[in-house]
Amino acid sequence: MIPLRDFRPSGSFPLGTVLIIALNVLVFFYELSLSGLTDPQCSYLLDRLVSQHSCFFFQYGLVPHWLLSSPGDSFALATLPLWTTVFTSMFVHANFLHILGNMWFLWIFGDNVEDAFGSLNYLFFYLFSGLMAALSQVLSDPGSQVPMIGASGAIAGVMGAYMVLYPWGRVRTLLIIIIVDLPAVVILGIWLGVQILVPQGGVAAMAHVGGFTTGALIAWLVKRRRRRLAPADYSFW
């Protein structure tokens, strides 16, 4: 089930969304420049063969066990304080399909959420959703030593906000082999249900759930406040 477009025009240029996408793409191009050859220092510290490219994931991805443990040899890989990996991990992707899927979902749903929040607030909202997504995953699997990477937790926050702000907005969707128009509440509700109910190897499902829930809650509070200030304004519908 792949969203192809929505039908809600944006009232302004989505500068924040474009900046986020551009930063993710730039980091990915840097990743592509890294060698696939074994990185001696990284392999020594992790006690297994690790390429320069994979070492980048350990340096800037979020490793729950490291974040919650006392400093040890593995921390020598870090080029920044460990807590910053909560944020740097949002801009690191494993491969082309990983970044393409994430940026596509952000492009579909991000512009309207940015429209509702304003560009600066939207950027803070995006990072906070990513933060809560990361913490959700860390708390669900605190002993994991696998780097968590990708923007999907923060983007899940954007999707949660979209569902609350524009629940009946039409989203053109590729459903297996047919194209249908579905309300946002349906497609995003199904997506959330899959994260909760369907086991997915290698996918940080709790990060998706945590990010989505955070985005939905913030959007609900924003929507509630604006309705109280301007009861006749139904623009979010």
* Cβ 230 vs Cβ 223: under 8 Å: no
The residues of the chain scoring below 50 in pLDDT are 234-237
Q: In whole angstroms, what is the distance from residue 223 CA to residue 63 CA? A: 35
28: tokens are: 């990915």
pLDDT at 37: 86
pLDDT at 66: 86
Position 71 scores a pLDDT of 60
- Please tell me the pTM assigned to this model: 0.91
Q: What is the dihedral of CA 155, 105, 110, 86, to 10 degrees?
A: 20
pLDDT at residue number 236: 45
- Tens digits of per-residue pLDDT, 15-35? 999 999 999 999 999 999 998
Domain 2-229: CATH class, spelled out: mainly alpha
Question: How far apart (Å, rounded) are the C-alpha atoms in residues 148 and 55?
Answer: 13
